[in-house]
Amino acid sequence: MNGHLSEDKLINYAFDLGSQRQTRAIEAHLQGCAECRGQLEAIRGRFAVLDVLSEDIAVSEALSARVLAEVWGESAADARESATDARQGAGDARDCVVNRGGRRWAAPAWMGIAAGLLVIASVLVINERWKADGVQKKAVSGPQIGGDGGEHTASPEPVFGGAAKGLVAAGAPAELASAGHGVQAEERPPFAPASAIELVVLPRRENVQLTIYNSADLTLVRERRNLTLKKGWNWLQFMWANTLIDPTSLSLEPLEHKDKIEVQQLVYPARLKEIGRWLIRSEVEGQAPFEITYFTSGLSWRAFYMGTLSADEKTMQLNGYVRVDNHSGEEYENAQTRVIVGQVHLLDQIAELARRPYPYGSPIATDMGMMGGMGGFGGGLGMDKGVRYNWFADGDIDRDGVDLYDLNFDALQAIRKVEKEGLSEYFLYTIEGTDTIPNEWGKRLPSFTVDEVAVENLYKYDETRWGTETVRFVSFKNDADHNLGETPLPEGSVRIYRRAGEDGALAYTGGTEFKYIPVNEKAELNLGAARYVRVEPVLMESRTDHYQFDRNGNIDGWDEVQTWKVAVTNTREIGVKVEVFRDFGTPYWDIENSGQFDAFEKEDMDTVKFTVEAPARSKREFVYVLTTHQGTRREAVK
């Protein structure tokens, strides 16, 4: 080949338009000609601009629906026609071909069927691509009511609060899934949920149960919904847009027909955010209850208490409440709420919760009545008089082996006695009944009421802690003697009122926060400074004594002797108990007491406690002489 390659030849080579012989010749030339190689690159670069039109274009939802409607519509018509032909019966195959006449190909029937299936398959593939966009749009925009071509039907009851999340059950296309009722379901799952199929927005949840773990901003949600399944393959779509649901924790389980319904897989479709689809194979048709569990964040709870003292302040009615705040992005209607008290080692414990087997198999699937005998609920925490408890508490499986995590909403309506075994470091409280907790709302739920908790009114005076003010406490013990004691009391705030007057009016007495109160532990509610009970210590005399001297005649040891008079004044109309703490600032002390006090005890090495029972409108005084040893006197006394 002489000279350089022409532009035409380079174009032919670049686009493989020449013969094999020409191509080989050009390749041979290019190997030895840098200039032509450069020209070839320039030509390729010239046409590279064509690539700007390589952008993908999506098949619109409407177009796909149109095509499917047209193709499947005709398919249905053909099927009807075939059926008619079949009923006519007598005609043989050759007649059929003749009757249909005018066809250029007398190809075997399977070819036509295969071609048709290929078309449908390609339509489905394309269809899935646009569905990716379409579904995402739906997920963000709100309740999922399927939308193409008017072929979808909406449930009469929309998903409650469905702005955030929804479930859409999608049966396979009628032609694929039902393929004649009474026929075994296809073994091969559909490639993907087709679009022009019946989409049904599920009815609202049947039940939902929330277990809120405050220590890790985590809530276990278990909900029950009735899905309407078709025989064959079904797709269930779960969307969690705008919620704090952990998609990796999603789980779905049929509660009935377990041998006939199989949840095969959960897929997270590519390019779709916040959507998961379960593939369900069902041998039955119609409604079936399912339980869906998952974890979410954004739910928290806090305990509140209200105490109402009797007029004589010897007993208190104690009401417990739980305030649940929902910022999870999801609304929970008629939710049974359970709260976990105590620090749960979540990595282990929650995984355990998720894996925990039913003690007798799934209670809902087998025998709902079985739950009637199970222990566990509210039941007054083992107390009887004057107690109305709605909580039940548990740390684990109770003594009867009943799993309190079982979800049985009917059974929960009944009051049952708790046989509890404290096997764990945490407690589970279930609040009786159900409540709706809308998103971004807080809701205070009543949790328990105990009418008569014996309380002790106590006033304390301790200069090292509260200065010169007397502080009031209401104390009680979390045990059976106080109509409590079955469960620890969760940390929370408390407001104390007192009945005042014959008409039952309430007077605010004080409020405080308290920490978690374990069983059999004493609870002291600090109600703040008291005005009607005063403690006034007065130093009456101070002197030094018992000097000791070193070899140089300097003082190196002595005693300080102080005489204190303490006056306790009670201006209230009821008698009160006052504890007066005196801190001496040194462990080397002696004391002589005299006067009107009822008890004296050493609190710690440098503190003593005088207890004074002060009747109504009274003043009591006592005197103590304190001797503290200084310097070498400490050794001498020891």
Partner 1 sequence: MLRYLYRTTGNRQTAEDLFQETFRRVHEKANSFNGNNFRSWLYAIATNLAINEFRKRKRRPEISLEHIAESKNAKCENGNCQFVETLTANEKTEPGAQILREELKTRVWAAVNSLPAKQRLTLVMAYYQQMKYSEIADVLGCSTGAVKTHMFRALKHLRRVLPDGPGGAL
Positions in the binding site for partner 1 (CB under 8 A): 7-8, 11-12, 15-17, 43, 46-47, 49-50, 52-60, 63, 66-67, 70-71, 74-75, 100, 103-105, 107-109, 111-116, 118-119, 122-123, 126
* Residue 12 CB, nearest approach to partner 1 (Å): 7
* Residue 96 CB, nearest approach to partner 1 (Å): 11
* Residue 57 CB, nearest approach to partner 1 (Å): 6
What is the Cα 427 distance to its own chain's centre? Answer: 16
Alpha carbon distance 462, 535 (integer Å): 10
Alpha carbon distance 15, 222 (integer Å): 62
Please name which of 458, 359, 357, 372 lies closest in space to residue 413, comparing C-alpha atoms. 372
Which residues fall within 8 angstroms of residue 17, CB to CB, at 6 or more apart?
Answer: 11
Starting from the edge strand earliest in sequence, which strands make up the sheet with 533-549, in order? 533-549, 555-570, 618-631, 589-595
Other beta carbons less than 10 A from residue 635's beta carbon: 11
Please name which of 272, 211, 210, 282 lies closest in space to residue 247, comparing C-alpha atoms. 272
Alpha carbon distance 194, 567 (integer Å): 88
Helix %, strand %, coil % for the chain, to 5? 25, 40, 35
* Residue 84 CB, nearest approach to partner 1 (Å): 18
**Cβ nearer to partner 1, comparing 44 with 515:** 44
- Which residue in this structure is represented by tokens 């394309």? 126
Classify residue 45 as exposed, middle or buried by CB count within 10 Å of its CB (0-12, 13-18, 19+). exposed
**Cβ nearer to partner 1, comparing 59 with 346:** 59
* Residue 423 CB, nearest approach to partner 1 (Å): 53
**Cβ nearer to partner 1, comparing 270 with 347:** 270
**Cβ nearer to partner 1, comparing 109 with 183:** 109
Read off the DSSP letter of residue 162: T
**Cβ nearer to partner 1, comparing 134 with 320:** 134
Alpha carbon distance 276, 250 (integer Å): 9
User: Are 348 and 356 a contacting pair, CB within 8 Å?
Assistant: no
**Cβ nearer to partner 1, comparing 127 with 308:** 127
Write the CA distances from 266 to 96, 269, 455, integer angstroms. 46, 9, 56
* Residue 269 CB, nearest approach to partner 1 (Å): 21
Please name which of 622, 594, 633, 591 lies closest in space to residue 608, comparing C-alpha atoms. 591
Grouping H, G, I as helix, E, B as strand and the rest as coil, residue 215 is helix
Alpha carbon distance 208, 210 (integer Å): 7
* Residue 60 CB, nearest approach to partner 1 (Å): 7
* Residue 197 CB, nearest approach to partner 1 (Å): 18
Starting from the edge strand earliest in sequence, which strands make up the sheet with 576-583, in order? 522-529, 470-477, 456-462, 576-583, 607-614, 599-604
Report the amino acid identity of residue 323: R
* Residue 71 CB, nearest approach to partner 1 (Å): 5
**Cβ nearer to partner 1, comparing 72 with 547:** 72
**Cβ nearer to partner 1, comparing 86 with 347:** 86
**Cβ nearer to partner 1, comparing 57 with 347:** 57
* Residue 109 CB, nearest approach to partner 1 (Å): 8
Read off the DSSP letter of residue 420: -
Beta-sheet pairing, 207-213 with 218-229: antiparallel
* Residue 50 CB, nearest approach to partner 1 (Å): 6
**Cβ nearer to partner 1, comparing 114 with 599:** 114
**Cβ nearer to partner 1, comparing 7 with 41:** 7
- Which residue in this structure is represented by tokens 């009917």? 410
User: Are 263 and 280 a contacting pair, CB within 8 Å?
Assistant: yes
Rg for the chain, CA atoms, rounded: 41
Alpha carbon distance 638, 624 (integer Å): 22
* Residue 236 CB, nearest approach to partner 1 (Å): 29
**Cβ nearer to partner 1, comparing 52 with 90:** 52
User: Are 511 and 471 a contacting pair, CB within 8 Å?
Assistant: no
Alpha carbon distance 290, 286 (integer Å): 13
**Cβ nearer to partner 1, comparing 70 with 421:** 70
* Residue 194 CB, nearest approach to partner 1 (Å): 15
